[in-house]
Structure 1
């Protein structure tokens, strides 16, 4: 719940940023000065990039939450419980020890979204956020393909 509140706060701040930069871009474009208008046009690109980033990250979060719920409903969440520190972060050594089983599962069935999602959870527990996101994105794509068949 705290993470979702953080996402809402950050999204609200980003929307405020988009509005402020967009307003500044329009002001510069309408200023009548050629240099200011060019700067305003260049500045107008930033809110577009921010909107794209916000939408893609929110969609990623929603889709990954849905897949986690499906995995939980199927009773296929990772069975290894990794010990955590007082802060709630997993102990990396313990997470690393559980990791090879999930990697082997993906290698055995590379078209299974469940395997990729569990690998993403293992990467996340090991502290490798970049690979975790890649694995979860792959799981989302595979789940989408399953629904289309």
Structure 2
């Protein structure tokens, strides 16, 4: 199963659970009892948070893909330059070397979204997913700022 298939499957499950929670919340509120009303209102809040999180994740994925397509069209998409073990795992020293180079590039060009996109890929290759996500979010913000300056 690809990650995209898994994402859509889990998104569907999340939306199904949200619909069920809202339905149960309506029934609890309809009891007219104070406790039922309180729990029923909570049954609205929890799915709303889940749907908000799903929306943010989709927006992040689309923006990341847009940047990747643009970078690929420019010929600047990072290629897999990592050394691997005989078992196919990424060699840690190789990932650290690529990461150090990408970090230096990003520090040298703090306003370049391309450098931060490549840094995000290097973070991901090094196994640091939270920092990879932050670097990609920064690249997206830089690109959006560039778009707004170019439009205005």
Q: TM-score, normalising length from structure 2?
A: 0.90
Moved more, 58-67 or 73-82: 73-82
Q: Deviations over 1:16-74 (max 9, x none)?
A: 11111111111111112111111111221001101100000011001101101111111
Per-residue displacement from partner, 1:59-98 (whole Å, max 9, x unpaired)? 1001101101111111112245113468866333321121
Equivalent residue for 2:25? 25
Alpha-carbon distance in 2 for matches of 1:13, 1:89: 32
The 5 A counterparts of 1:99-110 are 99-110=99-110
* Partner residue in 2 for 1:16: 16
Residue 50 of structure 1 is matched in structure 2 by 50
Note closer, same or farther for the CA distance 1:97–1:18 as it changes in structure 2 (3 Å cut): same
- Evaluate the alpha carbon distance shift between residue 41 and residue 128 of structure 1 in structure 2; reply closer, same or farther with a 3 A threshold: same
Cα 1:106–1:60 shift into 2, 3 Å: same
Change (3 A) 1:98 1:69: same
- Segments of structure 1 that go 5 or more residues without pairing to the other structure are none
**In structure 2, distance between residues paired with 1:52 and 1:107:** 33
Gaps of 5+ in 2: none
RMSD, matched Cα: 1.8
Equivalences, count = 149
Q: Which runs of 4+ in 1 moved over 2 A?
A: 83-93
CA distance in 1 between partners of 2:86 and 2:53 (Å): 33
* Pair 1:92-2:92 in alignment: yes
Alignment pair present for 1:75 and 2:75: yes
